Amino acid sequence: MTILQGIAASPGIGIGPIHIVDPEEIEVQDGDLPVNGTAAEQERFRKAIEESLEEVRELREKIAMETGEEQARILDTQIDILGDPDAVDQTLAAIERERKPAAFAYRKILTAVAARLDEADGEYYRGRAIDVRDVRRRVLAHLGGVRAHSLRDLKEPSLIVANDLPPSEMALLPRNMALGFATDLGGRTSHTAIMARARGIPAVVGVKGATDSAQQGALAIVDGTRGIAIFDPDHETLAEHERKRERYRELAAKLTELKDQPCTTADGRVLSLGANLEVPEELPGILENGADGIGLYRTEFFYLSRKRLPTEDAQFNAYRSIVEAMHPRPVIIRTLDVGGDKFASYLGTPIEKNPFLGMRGLRFSLRREEIFRTQLRAIFRASVYGTVRIMFPMVIGLEDLRRAREIVERVKLQLRKEGVAMAPNVPLGVMVETPASVFSIDQLVQEADFLSIGTNDLIQYTLAVDRGNEAISEIYEPLHPAVLRAIKTVVDAGHRAGIPVGICGEMAGESLYAVVLVGLGLEEFSVSPYLVPEIKTIIRGTTYGDARELADRCMSLATPSEVRTVVSEFMSRRYPGIFLPA
Ligand code: PEP
Ligand code: MG
């Protein structure tokens, strides 16, 4: 049994067989060859070995010339493995006797070799195992294998283990196939974590050594509440976690009983508690959990799951179905927020040294106006089917908003000319997620119809800490006085201007912060669907007066740890069933 600590990214317990996702892995087909097909298959295999050898020798030569003989010698191991008569003979025999395809047979043999090396003690053998896997990949590619499509092809409910899962990969995950996630990399607000939470799937990220400890098909546990991944659990541990999983499900079921209750503080302040949506599969969870609307529709996932730019009609249909399903509750559609950690090769987003400071969000849309206009047309066409608001990501000042507004006006004019029906007044809002937008909030509120604070980025940019970097995750502190001041500044400016201010970053869905956020004056929350009941429970359990008092106290403190202590003490006293004493 191996227990590894990571970052708790999505609550709950997942237990099941491991499915390792390795985008480098090559997929091969099993099946029987025709009786007269074995000789040709053997020939194909010999040729693949020859081609692979040639490739490695060329590579070796290149390295020898560019970096020297010593570096080049590293590849000698791979040349040895490729020439290993045992592996070659065994593969040829399997083709002949078992009539197995070459790729299938060779893969099986080298996988067993790598596994034996993995089990041996010492750095040297582990290094050899990596070489064996590399050779396996190379030969299988020459045999015409295609890169495994990982998540899209998942056929059995499994615990997904990966080094990292880019959002474009997560977008391919079929429904009900993931029992949990454990990834070597990532932080609480990385998009893998966000998507796991959105689907109510337990997840632990930043688990160093997860992929190394995982064995395909073996049993594992993901405890997304405590941030732990357990590989090859013993009977006792397994039974204990099965009990925990049951308790967690009961608690979740009990909380959803609040579904039809309003999100009101004990002294009658009415708040709105919406949900965030990435992909349509999340809609049932949003409805089941009684969200007051969709406070953030991350439309980019619609683009990420495709191979080419979606047409206006495809987008219109997607928006329409969400807007209709939520009617009369509002849907805040955020325009395309690519860049950062969200890419689609067909969009031609540049390769950048600092993607989070690069061509992201509204910047991209303003540069690629034709993509922006198509999206806006689709949104306006969908607007007649319910209550739509539009929100722009990554705004750094009034100029951004004005340029976006101008394009919106032109799009509307054109649609009117074409006689297309649209809702009369679709509000245009700004996501406050950069320090620049906080410092220019007094100007922004003059021209924005509403604000929504995106704390995931606001914290990352305010504290200069990468939201996806597990190594510095302890500095990513939502309760940092600088963050609280930024939020307060935005809320106060919004209230002075008489426009609504919401919060849609992951901070809004963390029960520990809920009362402070209410106290800071926020009125619209948008959280991951499965967290709606918990946040509602917390908000209904406090008065606005108490929340303000707590927020005022926090605002007077100088350091993140002082704030954390005060908030933790307050919450464990007030909600003893939910919070354990700090
Ligand atoms: C945010 O930054 O808080 C936010 C909600 O946007 P995203 O997480 O998609 O960057
Ligand atoms: Mg953001």
Q: What is the pLDDT of residues 422-460, one digit of tens each?
A: 999 999 999 999 999 999 999 999 999 999 999 999 999
CA distance 102 to 255: 54
User: Per DSSP, which regions of 475-531 are E strands?
Assistant: 501-503, 524-527
Region of poorest pLDDT, from 132-136, 266-270, 399-403, 510-514: 132-136
Cα of 457 vs centre of ligand 2, distance in Å, is 5
pLDDT of amino acid 254: 82
Q: Check whether 5 has a pLDDT greater than 70.
A: yes
Q: SS in 3 state form for 14-69?
A: EEEEEEEECCCCEECCCCCCCHHHHHHHHHHHHHHHHHHHHHHHHHHHHHHHHHCH
Closest C-alpha residue for ligand 1 atom 7: 456
Both tokens assigned to 455: 């704390």
Closest ligand 1 atom to residue 460 Cα is 2
**More confident: 110 or 554:** 554
The β-bridge relationship of strands 178-183 and 203-205 is parallel
Catalytic residue among 191, 241, 480, 554: 191
- Known catalytic residue: 191? yes
292 and 273 in contact (C-beta within 8 Å)? yes
* pLDDT tens digits, one per residue of 27-80: 677 788 888 899 999 999 999 999 999 988 988 887 777 766 776 777 888 899
Region of poorest pLDDT, from 102-106, 137-141, 171-175: 171-175
387 φ/ψ angles, rounded to the nearest 5 degrees: -115, 110
Sign of the dihedral defined by the CA atoms of residues 100, 104, 105, 106, in that order: positive
Q: Check whether 498 has a pLDDT greater than 70.
A: yes
Residue closest to 362 by CA, chosen among 401, 326, 328: 401
User: Per DSSP, which regions of 163-227 are E strands?
Assistant: 178-183, 203-205, 219-223
pLDDT of amino acid 352: 84
Closest ligand 1 atom to residue 457 Cα is 2
- Known catalytic residue: 504? yes
Cα of 462 vs centre of ligand 1, distance in Å, is 14
* Contacts for 535 with CB less than 8 Å, ≥ 6 apart: 263, 273, 508, 509, 511, 514, 525, 527
Return mean pLDDT, the chain: 90
**More confident: 580 or 230:** 230
Q: Which residues pair with 501 in a beta bridge?
A: 451
pLDDT of amino acid 283: 93
Sign of the dihedral defined by the CA atoms of residues 122, 125, 127, 133, in that order: negative
Q: Check whether 361 has a pLDDT greater than 70.
A: yes
Closest C-alpha residue for ligand 1 atom 6: 454
Residue 257 CB burial class (10 angstroms; 0-12, 13-18, ≥19): exposed
Q: Check whether 196 has a pLDDT greater than 70.
A: yes
Cα of 453 vs centre of ligand 1, distance in Å, is 9
pLDDT category at 332 given cuts 50, 70, 90 is very high
Ligand 1 first shell, C-beta below 6 A: 296, 298, 337, 433, 454-457, 504-505
pLDDT of amino acid 126: 66
Structure-token match 């295609």, residue found:
146
pLDDT category at 397 given cuts 50, 70, 90 is very high
Q: Check whether 123 has a pLDDT greater than 80.
A: no
Both tokens assigned to 114: 């790598």
Longest dimension (CA), the chain: 83
